Each structure stands twice: as C-alpha cells, then as structure tokens.
Structure 1
Amino acid sequence: MIKAVLFDLDGTLLNRDESVKLFIENQYNRLIEFLSHIPKEMYVSRFIELDSRGYVWKDKVYEQLVDEFKITEITWEKLLQDYLSEFKNNCVPFPNLINMLEELKSNNLVLGMITNGYGQFQMDNIKALVIDKYFETILISEWEGIKKPSPQIFIRAIEKLNVLPKESLFVGDHPVNDVKAAQNVGMKGVWKRDTQWDDVEADFTINDLSEIPLIINKLNK
C-alpha cells in the first residue's frame, strides 16, 4: 500500500531548463546597459552551457562569463546577486503540477520533497511555484547537511512522514540521485523521463506528472 509520494524539484516539478532560459534572457534585458556589447543569443547560450543543468554553481559561471566576454561595467558578484534575487520570478512548472498534487492530497497521500541545492534559494523557487502548502516535509541538502544520493536523506524524509520505505514512492529525473538512490532504501523509484538518459532501470517511467495518480491507483488496488 503506497501511503507517501516524495519528489525531486529541479527537472521533476520545476522545468529547470525553461526557467533558466527565461531567467537569463530577462537578466540580459534587465542589465543591458552593462551587457550590450555581447549579442543576446551568445550571452544566453553560453550561460546555459556553463551552467551544465545546474551542476556548476553560478559563482563559477559568472566569473567565466565576465572573463570571456570582457564585462567591465558590472562585477560577477553583482550578476550572481541578480541571479539569487531574480531566479524565483522565472520559475516554470511542468504541466499538470497543481492538478496532480491536488489529486494526491484528495486521495489522502502524504507528500514530501527532497532536493539538492542551497536552502533559501530552493525554498524561494518552491514558494514561487505555490506548492509548499502541499508538502508535509521538504528537505533541502544545504540545510540537512547531506545530499542525494545519500540514503540518509531519503530515510530522514520517510521518517518525518511516518511511513515505511515500501509504502513510499519517489519521483525524480536523475537515474542515480533520484531513482536508484530511492530504490536502494526500499522505495519505489519513478523516473520522469529526461532526454539526456535512456534505459533507466526504474519501477515506473512517466512523461507527464498526471501519470503519477494512475500509478498509485494501480499499486493500491
């Protein structure tokens, strides 16, 4: 019997690729007086490349951009500060996010979230998506002192939700940090398909968040 569903954030609930693209285009427009010597497409594409889907922290990204593009009118620290304060205003959810959460709650499931990243930054993004109210527990790696794929962060989350691993489902886009890590502690691992991987050994694979309630209905029959 599945009693709890836990989620990753970036690439699972938050469409990070679209959010980053939207943010960096808006940053260029906002700070054009300092960046106008760089073609917009070049600034946008280089940021996305250096960001490496969030696996490179932005201090390194902006240091590199300032160096490469000979940005002299604004420091990398100011660009980073703009990222920290403005990213939340560019958060793009995946389709059917709220409907899916509403349906799970109406079926009396308890919900949790485990995300790697900086505490306040990730919490700002969760609040920007207006989904914080749906979750009984939200664990962010910086605040917890441990990160995925460590088993401890998964165990901590399910203990907070007062459920057993076998009563829990974890949904994420990363084959190792999300799916395999959840399976390693005895949870069911659901892979939200991402084009950069294939042949992921998950218990279930989804293309859309609306598929999650269907999986749970099937498991709980």
Structure 2
Amino acid sequence: MIKAVIFDLDGTLLDRDRSLKLFIKTQYKKYFRELKHIPEKHYIERFIELDNKGYVWKDKVYQQLLQEFSISSLTWEQLLEDYINSFQYSCIPFQNMEYVLKELKNRGIRLGMITNGFTILQSLNLKALGIHNYIDTILISEQEGIKKPHAEIFLRALEKLGVNPEESLYVGDHPENDVIGAQNVGMNAVWKKDPFWSEPYTIEQSIDDLGELLNLVLQEK
C-alpha cells in the first residue's frame, strides 16, 4: 500500500529543458549589447551543451562561454547571479503536474521531494511552480549536506514523512540517482522517461507523462 510519493524536481516536475531554453533566450536579450556578435541560436546550443543536463554548475558554463566567444564586457559572476535570481521566471512545469499533486494530496497520500542542487536556486524554482502548496517535506542536497543517490537522503525523507520504504514510491528522471538510489533503500520507484538517459538502462516501471502516475499509485493503495 502506497502511503507516500516522493518526487525529484528537475526533469520530473519541472520541464527543465524547456525552462532552460526560455531562460537562455531571455538572458541573451537582456545582455544583447554584449552578446550581439554571437548568433542567438549558436549561443543557446552551446550553453545547453555545456550545461550537460544541469550536471555542470553555471560558474563553469559561463566561464567557458566567455572564453569561447571572447566576451570581455561581462563577468561570469554577473551572469551567474542573474541565473540564480532570474531562472525562476522561466520555470515551466510538466503537463499535469499540479493536477497530479492535487489528486494525490486529496486522496491522503503524503508528498515529499528530494532534489540535488543549491538551496537558493531550488527554493526559488519550487516557489515559482507553487509546489509548496502540496509537498509535505522538501530536501535539497546542499541544505542536507548529502545528495542522491546516497541512501541517507532517501531515508531522511521517509522519516520526515513517517512511512516505511515499502510504503513509498519515488518518481524521478535519472535512472541511477533517482530510480536505483530509491530502490537500494527498499522504496518502489518509477522512472519519468527521458531519452537523454535511455541507454543502457532497463527499468521495470516507467511513465511518459505525470498523468500516468495516478493509476500506478491507486493500484497499490
């Protein structure tokens, strides 16, 4: 019986690919005077490539961009500060996010979140998506001093929600950090499919759309 569902954020509830592209376009326009010598399409593509699905922090991304494109009128610190403060305004949720969270909450399911990342940035993004209205407990790796796939961060979330591993379901887009990490502590796990991670993983339970999650949870309830 599933009593709690715990979510990842980026790539699971937050459509990070679309959000990032929107943010880069917005930032490019904001600093157009300094960036106009670079074709917008080229700048966006290179940013996304260097970002590596969010697994490279933006200090490194901006330093590399400044060097590659010979940008001397901006500093990476300026651009990073703008990223931290402004990314929230480009946050786009996946389809059915709010509906699923609301339905689970209404059915008495406890809701949690574990996200790897920096506290300030992730807190702003969570607020932008309105997730605090539904989630009972949120663990951000920087704040916790530990990150997925380490077992301890999953166990902390379970303790805060007051459920046993077998009574919980974890939903995430990263096969190792999310799915395997959760399974290693005895949780049920569902992969929110992302073609970026499609090979060489074989995962038993997966969904394409968050709307599919309700049936999975209700079958176990």
Matched with 1:20 is 20
Instruction: Give CA deviations for 1:26-61 in whole Å, capped at 9, x if unaligned.
Output: 100111011111111111111001001101000000
Question: In the comparison of the two structures, how many residue pairs are matched?
Answer: 220
Matched with 2:210 is 209
Amino acid at match of 1:142: E
Give, in whole Å, the separation in 2 of the partners of 1:143 and 1:192: 25
Matched with 1:138 is 138
Amino acid at match of 2:94: F
Amino acid at match of 1:184: N
Amino acid at match of 2:90: N
Give, in whole Å, the separation in 2 of the partners of 1:101 and 1:203: 23
Q: Residue 117 of structure 1: SS of its match in structure 2? A: coil
Q: Residue 98 of structure 1: SS of its match in structure 2? A: helix
Matched with 2:32 is 32
Give, in whole Å, the separation in 2 of the partners of 1:144 and 1:90: 26
Amino acid at match of 1:205: S
Give, in whole Å, the separation in 2 of the partners of 1:107 and 1:200: 32
Give, in whole Å, the separation in 2 of the partners of 1:200 and 1:157: 25
Matched with 1:84 is 84
- Are the equivalent residues in 2 in contact too, given 1:180–1:202 (CA < 8 A)? no
Q: How large is the Cα RMSD of the aligned pairs? A: 1.0
1:61-210, aligned counterparts within 5 Å?
61-196=61-196, 197-198=198-199, 200-210=201-211
Greater shift, 160-169 or 191-200, is seen at 191-200
Instruction: Give CA deviations for 1:51-94 in whole Å, capped at 9, x if unaligned.
Output: 01101000000000001101011111111111111101000100
Give, in whole Å, the separation in 2 of the partners of 1:184 and 1:19: 31
- Are the equivalent residues in 2 in contact too, given 1:191–1:200 (CA < 8 A)? no
Q: Residue 12 of structure 2: SS of its match in structure 1? A: coil
**Shift in Å at residue 155 of structure 1?**
0.2
Instruction: Give CA deviations for 1:113-143 in whole Å, capped at 9, x if unaligned.
Output: 0000001110100110111121110000000
Matched with 2:45 is 45
Q: Which runs of 5+ in 2 are unaligned?
A: none
**Shift in Å at residue 12 of structure 1?**
0.3
**Shift in Å at residue 162 of structure 1?**
0.4
**Shift in Å at residue 198 of structure 1?**
4.2
Give, in whole Å, the separation in 1 of the partners of 2:120 and 2:203: 31
Percent identity between the two aligned chains: 56
Amino acid at match of 1:37: H
TM normalised by structure 1 equals 0.97
Q: Residue 70 of structure 1: SS of its match in structure 2? A: coil
Where in structure 1 do 4 or more consecutive aligned residues deviate above 2 Å? Answer: 198-203
- Are the equivalent residues in 2 in contact too, given 1:173–1:192 (CA < 8 A)? yes
Q: Which runs of 5+ in 1 are unaligned?
A: none
